[in-house]
Each structure stands twice: as structure tokens, then as C-alpha cells.
Amino acid sequence: MPTPVRIASVNVNGIRASYRKGMGDWLATRGIDVLALQEVRAADSDVIGLLGSEWNVLHDAATAKGRAGVAIASRRPIAAHRTTFGDDDFDSAGRWLEADIEFGGAKLTVASCYVHSGEVDTPKQVEKYRFLATLEERLPQLAAHSPYALVVGDLNVGHRELDIKNWRGNRKNAGFLLDERSSFDRIFGEAGASVECVDGTTGSGLGWIDVGRIAAGEVPGPYTWWSQRGQAFDTDTGWRIDYHVATPALAATASSYTVDRAATYDTRWSDHAPVVVDYTLP
């Protein structure tokens, strides 16, 4: 029998702070089967204690205490997990966590991913480019591992002009640089095809699917992050930087794509909104 699976991803901007502001109330009513978190910024005991005993929890903390951190929580047992990402000398701790979860006879592989925010002309941007290059290397391996694979999280890149309200003013800023966007051109390009990238280069498409863009169509947003400063949230001056990136087989089963945007600024529990998608595994 086909198995429905509801998967949510959100950058919590510190899980302890999010729970103080109401994250638990949201989670209690949303019927989530698999939850991926980014920027957890807490200890294992905090994550497990806040989510509760009904969840099977994996957490990979960053090397620097109180920074980054990714987690995956599943209602079902987790069969295997991995944190290896790139070369041994690349510190990706707290930014990449994979889990294999069995649903009936199908294996679902979910990766919670937190890409560096970057900063132009600094080592932070160098690390971001290295992470994106490693992501392009890892995705084909992940697809070979499971036809039902999904990378979710705060990828910190607005792929297209539709993904940022004020795209003109951000053309020279990290998150909307041509080199960053070109990486996404290849990721979402037709598998094996020559892809013309926004920076003028060509590359080979990887064939992964941007579930959010397919669901929304050719419209602005829907945005998933808003600056805490000014009136960005109230005027919906946001960025779509939180993604569900799926293999074609999994993306074909996606339905009910939703960005759980808070009703008002003062009811937010993170500067990001959860992205929730229903899938159906065979």
C-alpha cells in the first residue's frame, strides 16, 4: 500500500529560543512524520528533551559551540545515518546530516542541510563555494543510494529573480551571486544535459527537482525568510532560501506544498518559516 509521508524543514534560529516562542505548539498540530532542522545551536540533550520521546532524533552539532547544527527527527525508526560530506579536511560538522528511514518497502533518504550564508570577498564565501561544490558531488551519490532521496534545509541561495523580492538590490550580495545561482542551475538542470548557467558558463545538469518552484509555478516566492530588521516581514520583502530538493521519483509524488508563514510578526518563532510537503512512497 502507498504510504503518505509529511516532511517539514525549518531553520529554527536556535531551537531553545524557538520553543520558548511557540515552536512546540506548531509541531503538535502539524502531523509531521519527518522533521529536519537547521541552525539548532544546542546540545543533544536539549534537542531530544524539547522534541520529546515520541521522536527518533539525530543531531549533528557544529565544531564551534553554539553555531549551526542540523537535526532530523522521525516518527519511525532510523535505519542508518551519515554525516560524511566532502574531503576529510573540510569541516562540515553541523551542516549535513543524512538519514535512511523505512516506510513499508521503500527506503526514504533525507538530508538536513545548512549552507553557509557567506560574505563577499571573505573566507566565509570561500567556504560557501566549497560547500556548494561538494553538494554537487554528493547529489549523484545520494540518488544512486536511493531513488527516493530528498535534501531539505536552508540552502542560503535565492536561485532565481522570483526567489527574492528585492533581487535588484542584492545582485552583489551573498545569497544571490551569479556563481552561487549557477550551482543551482546545474543541480536543477536536466540530468546529463548541457546547462547554460546564469554566470555564462555551461555545466552538466544533475536532474534534481526544486519541489517548491514546481508547486508554486512562475510566481514571486513564496518566501521562507525575512530579515528581523525594519518592515521586511510585514511587507513580505523576503527570500526563498529554504528548499525541498528531490529526486525525480520522489518529486513526482509531492503534494500539498506549504510555507507555514506566521500570521503576524509577533507570532513568529523563527526568522524562517517551515516548509512542509506531503509525499507518497510506494
Q: What is the CB neighbour count within 10 angstroms for residue 221?
A: 17
Q: What is the pLDDT of residue 171?
A: 96
Per-residue pLDDT of 199-239, as tens digits, reads: 999 999 999 999 999 999 999 999 999 998 889 999 999 99
Q: What is the pLDDT of residue 66?
A: 79
DSSP 3-state of 156: coil
| C-beta of residue 208 within 8 angstroms of C-beta of residue 252 | no
- Binned at pLDDT 50, 70 and 90, residue 61 comes out as very high
Burial of 144 (0-12, 13-18, 19+ CB in 10 A): exposed
Q: At what angle do helices 123-145 and 178-188 cross, to 10 degrees?
A: 0
Label the pairing between strands 34-38 and 3-11: parallel
- Residue numbers of the domain that contains 168: 3-281
Q: Which three cell numbers stand for residue 75?
A: 516518527
Q: What is the pLDDT of residue 1?
A: 82
Per-residue pLDDT of 102-133, as tens digits, reads: 998 899 999 999 999 999 999 999 999 999 99
pTM of the model: 0.96
- The CATH code of the domain that includes 205 is 3.60.10.10
DSSP 3-state of 250: helix
| C-beta of residue 103 within 8 angstroms of C-beta of residue 116 | no
State how far the Cα of 110 lies from the Cα of 122, in Å rounded to an integer.
31
Inform me whether the pLDDT recorded for 17 exceeds 90: yes
Our count of domains for the chain comes to 1
